[in-house]
Amino acid sequence: MSLQHTDLVTFEKIKYFECVHLENNLGSQLELIRQTVPEFRTWFASTGKVDAFYSYDLVTLPYPSQYGFWRAVRTRNPFIWLTNRMLLVQWQEENQVKTLLYEPSDFELGANTPYFSSLMEKYGSTLSNKMFSKHHDTVQHHLESVGLRPEDVDFIAFDHLHTQDLRRWLGTRKPQPDISPDSPLEAYFPNAKLVVQRSEWEVLSELHPLQKMWYQPQTYADIPRDKVLFIDGDVRLGPGIALVWTPGHTIGNQSLVVNTETGIWVSSENAIAAECLNPESSRIPGLRRYQNETGFEVVLNGNTLENPARQYNSLVQEKLIADPVAARPEYRQFFPSSELSVHALSPGIKPSFRHAKLEFGQIRRNQ
């Protein structure tokens, strides 16, 4: 394995999927994925296991049914509900505890995303905030509850930058009229670096009309660049933890891959439920029929549809990387960063299976 240098941080460059990324024929690419994943899995498992892997509920939000189950679901209800979660991962490196927060969404500022602000305008703040949405807890409070301080966080990452506003987490070089009009924002996480695919960051400079509903590009203008670690492709962060480039949903989409006592887990928003990787096992109306009629082996989460065929390949890759659930082997250890949830306003759409929560190992601080 080669090394990828990102400023003062060195990650191990993963070579296994380089042939996949170079293949432009999407059918051939899918076959390369099937051939390559077993070798990757064997190598990745040999790198070790993480010390801790936990999930924390942040917010439950409405999401268009036809986006979440791209063309597959049968429902008259325009919305389903997803629970967005933060994942906390810890591992050892040179006798130091390293901490990554994956999907630490600042949902207060995320509400300014054009898609969500349009819902607010349509339905009003009371209906949107009281009936449509449920705030579980904040990133800050979740960290406090497990005894971690902001300075303990080394890295933050997201599968992609849809809806994200990172100014509070990373700080700004200039005052921000909407939240800090008199002075620049100090970073809430003073030691944390954002780990992001270079291609995901660069798209912010000129969004396509299909992308504009989901990004807040203006919020990135004043973030200090020394707070950002750009990566290109697949990297291993430490023993049992990697970020794998899985484009399609967005050009810079990346998936968290983690090895634990139950085997390998994968997390992203390429799908909104574990059963979307095995629609033949789903009881959600339409998913099994969809699989039977189309022969598609996965059901995409498709809102921007930047490249559905490439996203399909990425989701198959995630499916093959993740281990089966021991108690329910028809499902995979795929943990959606935003997972389908039961909601009274979406009758008839009930998950057949939910992971709901992850709790592995013991969370620690450096002494």
Quote the pLDDT of residue 329.
96
Q: What is the mean pLDDT of residues 251-280?
A: 97
Q: Quick count: other Cβ atoms within 10 Å of Cβ 118?
A: 11
pLDDT of residue 129: 57
The pLDDT tens digits for 278-324 are 999 999 999 999 999 999 999 999 988 899 999 999 999 999 999 99
Band (pLDDT 50/70/90 cuts) for residue 349 is: very high
- Is pLDDT of 252 > 70? yes
Give the model's pLDDT for residue 4: 59
**Considering Cα of 220, then 223, then 225, then 230, what sign does the dihedral take?**
negative
Q: Is 253 domain-assigned?
A: yes
SS3 325: coil
pLDDT digits (tens, 9 = 90+) for 42-76: 999 999 999 999 999 999 988 999 999 998 988 88
Q: pLDDT class for 223, splitting at 50, 70, 90?
A: very high
- Inside any domain, residue 367: no
pLDDT at 326 over 70: yes
Would you tell me how many other CB atoms lie within 10 Å of the CB of residue 280?
12
CATH number of the domain residue 273 falls in: 3.60.15.10
In a domain, 366, yes or no: no
Residue-wise pLDDT for 119-151, tens only, equals 777 776 655 555 578 899 999 999 999 999 999
Question: In which domain, by residue range, is 122 found?
Answer: 2-361
The predicted structure's pLDDT at residue 106 = 96
Contact 244, 20 (CB under 8 A): no
pLDDT for residue 242 is more than 80:
yes
* pLDDT tier for residue 209 given thresholds of 50, 70 and 90: very high
Express each pLDDT in 72-107 by its tens digit.
Answer: 988 888 899 999 999 999 999 989 999 999 999 999
Q: What is the pLDDT of residue 333?
A: 98
Based on the structure, what is the number of domains in the chain?
A: 1
Average pLDDT over residues 201-227: 96
pTM for the whole structure: 0.95
| pLDDT value for 182 | 96
Average pLDDT score over the chain: 93
Strands (E), the chain: 2-6, 9-13, 52-64, 79-93, 96-102, 134-135, 155-157, 175-176, 180-184, 193-197, 228-231, 235-238, 241-245, 254-260, 263-267, 338-341, 359-361
156's CB contacts (< 8 A; 6+ apart) are: 100, 101, 102, 104, 166, 169, 189, 192, 193, 194, 195
